[in-house]
């Protein structure tokens, strides 16, 4: 704690300290004028600034701000520099609108495509999510504005989100649900972290000392404050004691009094309150260094940035016969409500009041002035059932055109913060519309707006092209036109698997849980980790996306095919644009562990790079892997373990298309604590070099005894005998198999255990 903060703290009354740990309003902390402590203003996030002036939640009208594409779109860009740039622009808007901390990024994992809030989250992969979150944070904070990494942790469904208890084993937490937070915290040092509403293994996020103190602060070195999600605190005093610094929203005078009373009665150690106050003060003064509200932001420049980000995020999923890009002449049938009323953001706390909105139909007209555009509504607002008249009208329009462009947006009612999706389908009307139009117009392009995966089996074979345009932000209409007419070569890649059926998805059986308990029974196997392990056929794999050009990979090299964990590994691969137009490729590096003590996913993403190539150009991409890229979290040892062994370095166009691979061997320098105990099996002993050493004399003695009893002393033990022996705890093995009769075998084994523990 700095002297200045200590000084202020010393002068604060107990009541002032307690008041500082609870919001003064929905979006502000409590100022203390007599001590020169200003208020701190926070605002949602994460894909725009939702600056609410009247302190009304949830629906107070916010000041106009740029609505950028939402997180699922951003992640599909796989472009960390672009995310940094967006973070910088967001910070400029915060500064202009008087905001000190933006409440984002959201970095929960996409455990199921049904989570209503998936549009606000990046990925099913913690490495990709972590990288995106880290660069978002770095971009915002580089300008002196804070962020709030949320919702910590295991907030992976909206269903019963305030009360549900996520039951997750520690390895799964560490490898999947915490790993993205860990990467973002260590790499980018967010000023604040927001706790989740839900419980994790029985304890509310707001009272979870293990999550907030042990893991976040002690292990990851987090030095900001933890803020509650809005309304997530149940017992203010317990939350403070567990490390929850700021409760939002306020005012809540009764809770201030709870804290004062708890300190006076001795229920709460004043030191815990002081620590929270110091952490809040530190951020309040950090924020105050950047003056706010002095000049407007450049809405035009930010709109253009939003368009660029959106166009980089669009994923070309299908392009039969190279239908796209379009020439911009002839007659285009434009169908769908979303062509006129763009669906560009999701419902809930992240809802931005945009500075302007590009209308997809108008943008088509602007970029293709020579094309004849004819429009039909097609789907309208029909959520249930089918309106044939609308479909017939759309089909008639499509028949008269050279190409049909179907703008299909998942209705807002089907996907939002606050509740989950019931299925992964488009509406019946939309499916029937696509089928009806595709029947009369082979050159049909479907343009999708949605926050997370949708099923397409019912119609994808009938259409020529599909663009996934996500919740694309306010400039998405222009970005779609850019891609359709080839002004931008699509370079987005899926940051989440698109399954064929809901029944195929990893959490299908375990979601949404029984009552308020949801068991993460699939463990570390979410997303492609699951589809790989089960050999499940998917519609589009993680990392998938097409381009208007083609790329070839060659010359995979590594710094050393035998290396030590501490050295890490560098990997190079050459990528060539073998097509006719410039384009960007996303090089994906996965690591496969050939053999491990624990069951591991077939492969895991551990590096990626987005590279731009002119036609015919080749670039060498370099990626670096540290020991962690090879490690798993071993709950028995309570730490990450990078085991000695063989690994495959895999370079892929997607998780479903690995094009190059190279075997390497890593030697671990890690010394793990000895876990052998009286009931450890013979195999456990033989897997630990200390165990082998300690058992050596005994093994020799037993072998000699067996040899003496055998007719053929040269014959070794049959393999099946070893198989029988390996699961026997040592005392049992010695008693029943080796026929040893040392006084007490248990005591004898205890002595061996003591011996190995000293090694
Ligand atoms: C959401 C948070 C949001 C907060 C403030 C909550 O309901 O879960 O993501 O930042 O409200 O609007």
pLDDT, tens digit, for every residue of 201-227?
A: 999 999 999 999 999 999 999 999 999
Give the span between the Cα atoms of 42 and 598, in whole angstroms.
Answer: 43
Q: Are residues 451 and 413 in the same domain?
A: yes
pLDDT band of residue 712 (cuts 50, 70, 90) is low
Q: What percent of the chain has pLDDT over 70?
A: 96
Residue 99 tokens, joined: 């905001």
pLDDT digits (tens, 9 = 90+) for 358-383: 999 999 999 999 999 999 999 999 99
Indicate if the pLDDT at residue 59 is higher than 60. no
Q: How do 403-409 and 331-335 pair as beta strands?
A: parallel
Q: Are residues 339 and 442 in the same domain?
A: yes
Q: What is the mean pLDDT of the chain?
A: 95
Specify the pLDDT at position 723.
Answer: 78
SS3 per residue for 709-750:
HCCCCCCCCCHHHHHHHCCCEHHHHHHHHCCCCCCCHHHHHH
Q: Is 229 a catalytic residue?
A: yes
Residue 163 tokens, joined: 């009360």
Specify the pLDDT at position 510.
Answer: 96
- Residue whose pair of structure tokens reads 């293709």 in the numeric block: 368
- 226 occurs within a structural domain: yes
Q: Are residues 138 and 224 in the same domain?
A: yes
Last residue of a domain, one of 598, 632, 667: 667
The domain tally of the chain equals 4
| Average pLDDT for 499-522 | 97
Specify the pLDDT at position 716.
Answer: 62
Out of 154, 250, 348, give the residue to mutate to test ligand 1, the one with the largest number of ligand atoms within 8 Å of its CB: 348
Indicate if the pLDDT at residue 595 is higher than 90. yes
Question: What CA–CA distances, in Å, run from 133 to 138, 190, 191, 195?
Answer: 9, 10, 13, 16
Specify the pLDDT at position 563.
Answer: 98
Q: Which atom of ligand 1 is nearest to the CA of 58?
A: 12
Q: What percent of the chain has pLDDT over 90?
A: 90
Q: Are residues 636 and 697 in the same domain?
A: no
Which position has the higher pLDDT, 708 or 649? 649
SS3 per residue for 258-323:
HHHHHHHHCCCCHHHHHHHHHHHHHHHHHHHCCCCCCCCCCHHHHHHHHHHHHHHHCEEEEEHHHC
Out of 229, 246, 345, 352, give the residue to mutate to test ligand 1, the one with the largest number of ligand atoms within 8 Å of its CB: 229
Specify the pLDDT at position 614.
Answer: 98
Residue 152 tokens, joined: 């910590």
Cβ of 150 closer than 6 Å to ligand 1, yes or no, is yes
Out of 26, 44, 115, give the residue to mutate to test ligand 1, the one with the largest number of ligand atoms within 8 Å of its CB: 44
pLDDT digits (tens, 9 = 90+) for 286-316: 999 999 999 999 999 999 999 999 999 999 9
| Average pLDDT for 666-687 | 93
- 723 occurs within a structural domain: yes
- 530 occurs within a structural domain: no
SS3 247: strand
Indicate if the pLDDT at residue 713 is higher than 90. no
| Average pLDDT for 67-86 | 98
Q: Are residues 698 and 650 in the same domain?
A: no
Q: Are residues 268 and 408 in the same domain?
A: no
Give the span between the Cα atoms of 429 and 692, in whole angstroms.
Answer: 67
Q: Which atom of ligand 1 is nearest to the CA of 248?
A: 5
Q: Are residues 207 and 168 in the same domain?
A: yes
Q: Are residues 693 and 607 in the same domain?
A: no
Q: Are residues 27 and 124 in the same domain?
A: yes
| Average pLDDT for 393-406 | 98
Give the span between the Cα atoms of 402 and 749, in whole angstroms.
Answer: 82
**Contact criterion met (CB below 8 Å) for 629 and 591:** yes
pLDDT band of residue 740 (cuts 50, 70, 90) is low
Question: What separation in Å is there between the alpha carbon of 378 and the centre of ligand 1?
Answer: 35
- 503 occurs within a structural domain: no
Indicate if the pLDDT at residue 165 is higher than 90. yes
Indicate if the pLDDT at residue 391 is higher than 90. yes
Question: What separation in Å is there between the alpha carbon of 551 and the centre of ligand 1?
Answer: 42
Last residue of a domain, one of 243, 273, 288: 288
β-sheet bridge partners, residue 62: 52
Ligand 1, atom 3: closest residue by C-alpha = 349
- 634 occurs within a structural domain: yes
CATH code, 193 = 3.20.20.300
Indicate if the pLDDT at residue 57 is higher than 70. no
Q: Which atom of ligand 1 is nearest to the CA of 161?
A: 8
CATH code, 638 = 2.60.40.10
- 401 occurs within a structural domain: yes
CATH code, 411 = 3.40.50.1700
Q: Tell which residue, 508, 699, 533, has the closest CA to residue 601.
A: 533
pLDDT band of residue 341 (cuts 50, 70, 90) is very high
- 529 occurs within a structural domain: no
Ligand 1, atom 8: closest residue by C-alpha = 229
Question: Of 79, 92, 100, 229, which one is the catalytic site residue?
Answer: 229
Indicate if the pLDDT at residue 743 is higher than 80. no
Q: Give the range of the structural domain holding residue 617, as residue numbers without chain letter.
A: 551-667
Q: Are residues 59 and 190 in the same domain?
A: yes
Which parts of 485-571 fold into alpha helices (H)? 528-534
Cβ of 444 closer than 6 Å to ligand 1, yes or no, is no
pLDDT digits (tens, 9 = 90+) for 538-586: 999 999 999 999 999 999 999 999 999 999 999 999 999 999 999 999 9
pLDDT band of residue 200 (cuts 50, 70, 90) is very high
Specify the pLDDT at position 622.
Answer: 98
Q: Are residues 84 and 202 in the same domain?
A: yes
- 362 occurs within a structural domain: yes
Question: What separation in Å is there between the alpha carbon of 230 and the centre of ligand 1?
Answer: 6
Give the span between the Cα atoms of 522 and 533, in whole angstroms.
Answer: 11
Question: What separation in Å is there between the alpha carbon of 43 and the centre of ligand 1?
Answer: 9
Q: Are residues 24 and 163 in the same domain?
A: yes
């Amino acid at each position: 704690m700095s002297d200045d903060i200590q000084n202020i703290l010393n002068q604060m009354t107990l009541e002032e300290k307690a008041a500082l740990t609870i919001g003064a309003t929905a979006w502000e902390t409590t100022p203390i004028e007599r001590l020169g402590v200003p208020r701190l203003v926070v605002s949602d996030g994460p894909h725009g600034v939702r600056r609410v002036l009247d302190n009304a939640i949830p629906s107070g009208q916010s000041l106009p701000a740029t609505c950028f594409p939402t997180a699922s779109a951003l992640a599909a860009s796989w472009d960390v520099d672009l995310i940094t740039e967006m973070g910088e622009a967001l910070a400029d808007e915060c500064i202009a609108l008087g905001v000190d901390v933006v409440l984002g990024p959201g970095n929960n994992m996409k455990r199921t495509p049904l989570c209503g809030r998936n549009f606000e989250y990046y990925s099913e992969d913690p490495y990709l999510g972590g990288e995106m979150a880290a660069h978002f944070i770095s971009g915002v904070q580089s300008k002196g504005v804070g962020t709030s990494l949320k919702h910590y942790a295991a907030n992976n469904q909206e269903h019963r989100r305030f009360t549900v208890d996520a039951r997750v084993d520690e390895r799964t937490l560490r490898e999947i649900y915490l790993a993205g937070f860990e990467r973002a915290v260590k790499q980018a040092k967010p000023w604040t972290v927001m706790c989740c509403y839900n419980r994790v293994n029985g304890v509310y996020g707001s009272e979870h000392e293990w999550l907030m103190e042990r893991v976040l602060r002690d292990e990851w070195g987090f030095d900001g404050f933890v803020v509650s999600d809005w309304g997530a605190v149940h017992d203010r005093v317990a939350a403070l004691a567990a490390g929850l610094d700021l409760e939002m929203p306020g005012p809540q005078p009764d809770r201030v009094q709870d804290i004062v009373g708890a300190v006076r009665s001795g229920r709460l150690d004043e030191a815990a309150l002081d620590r929270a106050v110091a952490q809040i003060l530190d951020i309040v003064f950090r924020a105050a260094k950047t003056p706010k509200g002095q000049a407007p932001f450049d809405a035009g420049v930010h709109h253009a940035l939003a368009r660029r980000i959106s166009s980089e995020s669009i994923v070309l999923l299908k392009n039969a016969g190279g239908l796209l890009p379009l020439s911009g002449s002839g007659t285009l049938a434009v169908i769908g409500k979303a062509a006129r009323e763009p669906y560009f953001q999701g419902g809930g706390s992240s809802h931005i009041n945009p500075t302007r909105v590009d209308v997809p139909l108008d943008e088509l007209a602007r970029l293709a002035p020579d094309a004849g555009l004819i429009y039909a509504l097609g789907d309208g607002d029909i959520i249930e059932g089918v309106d044939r008249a609308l479909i017939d009208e759309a089909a008639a329009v499509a028949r008269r055109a050279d190409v049909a462009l179907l703008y299909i947006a998942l209705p807002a009612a089907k996907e939002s913060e606050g509740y989950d999706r019931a299925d992964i389908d488009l509406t019946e009307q939309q499916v029937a519309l696509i089928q009806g139009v595709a029947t009369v117009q082979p050159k049909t392009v479907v343009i999708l707006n949605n926050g997370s995966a949708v099923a397409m089996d019912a119609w994808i074979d009938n259409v020529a092209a599909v663009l996934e345009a996500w919740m694309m932000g306010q400039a998405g209409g222009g970005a779609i036109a850019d891609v359709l007419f080839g002004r931008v070569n699509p370079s987005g890649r899926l940051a989440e698997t698109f399954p064929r059926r809901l029944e195929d998805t990893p959490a299908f059986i375990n979601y949404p849980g029984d009552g308020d308990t949801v068991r993460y029974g699939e463990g570390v196997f979410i997303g492609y980790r699951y589809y790989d392990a089960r050999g499940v056929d998917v519609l589009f794999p993680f990392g998938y996306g097409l381009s208007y050009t083609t790329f070839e990979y060659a010359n995979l090299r590594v710094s050393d095919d035998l290396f030590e964990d501490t050295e890490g590994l560098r990997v190079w691969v050459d990528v060539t644009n073998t097509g006719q137009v410039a384009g960007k490729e996303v090089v994906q590096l996965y690591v496969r562990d050939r053999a491990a003590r624990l069951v591991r996913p077939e492969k895991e993403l551990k590096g990626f790079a987005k590279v731009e190539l002119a036609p015919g150009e080749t670039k060498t991409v370099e990626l670096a892997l540290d020991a962690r890229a090879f490690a798993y979290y071993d709950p028995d040892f309570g730490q990450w373990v990078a085991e000695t062994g063989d690994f495959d370095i895999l370079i892929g166009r997607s998780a479903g298309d690995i094009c190059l691979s190279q075997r390497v061997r890593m030697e671990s320098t890690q010394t793990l604590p000895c876990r052998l105990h009286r009931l450890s099996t013979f195999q456990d002993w033989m897997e630990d070099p200390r165990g082998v050493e300690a058992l050596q004399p005994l093994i020799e003695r037993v072998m000699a005894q067996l040899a003496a009893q055998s007719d053929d002393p040269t014959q070794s033990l049959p393999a099946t005998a070893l198989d029988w022996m390996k699961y026997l705890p040592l005392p049992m093995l010695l008693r029943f198999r080796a026929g040893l009769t040392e006084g007490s075998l248990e005591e004898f084994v205890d002595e061996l255990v003591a011996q190995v523990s000293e090694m």
